[in-house]
Amino acid sequence: MSCTDEEKVELAAYHLRDQAVTWWDMQKTIFGEQHITWLMFRDAFERQYFPATFCLARRQEFLNLKQGDCSVLEYNAEFSRLAEFYPQLVAQDYDRMHQFTKGLAAYIRIRISGFPGSSYQEVLDRALFIEMTQQQITQEKGQDKQSSQKRGNKGQSSQTTTGGSSRPQKAGRTSDGASRPPQHDWKKDRIGSRWHESRDCTLKAQLEATKATS
């Protein structure tokens, strides 16, 4: 907005509320008849509501700012808020870009270091893209893990079903409801009868040989 100093002061004073209105009325009496510039208003306002100790604390917070568990957008919003308390540190776009990059998450910094940006906005866009790509990879890995777990559960259930089929057969029931004995294994009987027949033949041959000798 193309405003004069007087218009800037009037516009700022119009938005004051509650105790700030009382403060400004008192401040105007201190200024007296002199022309109040925007710089005079801002200095007086910051001394009242942003004391030196508060500004120093915010500056230190800005220097130590890290992305941590926040998203890139959340980190950028906090970065812009705290940068207002240390304007001389980020006055140049290169300095702002460098300070912003220092606080990014490690995996983003590593990928950006291979292709350094030329402006703050370029680094911000690249960081957002890297974050989005990483989220997609994590989501795909989670889906693959769930699929492998489902396949493993199906394999276990099929093995359990196959193992249960070897249990001995229970007696069933006929159509009229009467109990039906389990099926007889005739194969075993045939094998057993052959063994008995061969054994009887052997004994018979031994007896005949003994009689002939006597």
Q: Tokens representing 170?
A: 């229970």
DSSP string, 128-182: HHHHHHHHHHHHHHHHHHHHHHHHHHHHHHHHHHHHHTTSPPPPEE-TTS-EEPP
Q: Quick one: what percent of the chain has pLDDT higher than 90?
A: 46
Read off the pLDDT of each residue in 151-171 and give the average, rounded to a whole number: 61
Mean pLDDT along residues 168-175: 53
Interatomic CA distance for residues 93 and 98, integer angstroms: 9
Chain mean pLDDT for the chain: 81
The pLDDT value recorded for residue 201 is 59
pLDDT digits (tens, 9 = 90+) for 7-30: 899 999 999 999 999 999 999 899
Q: For residue 186, what pLDDT is reported? A: 45
Give residue-wise pLDDT tens across range 47-62. Answer: 898 888 998 999 999 9
What would the mean pLDDT of 160-168 be, rounded to a whole number? 55
Look at 75-89, 107-121, 144-158 and tell me which has the smallest mean pLDDT.
144-158
pLDDT band at residue 157 using 50, 70 and 90 as cut-offs: low
Mean local confidence (pLDDT), 187-208: 57
Q: Report how far residue 97's alpha carbon sits from residue 119's, in angstroms, rounded to the nearest whole number.
A: 6
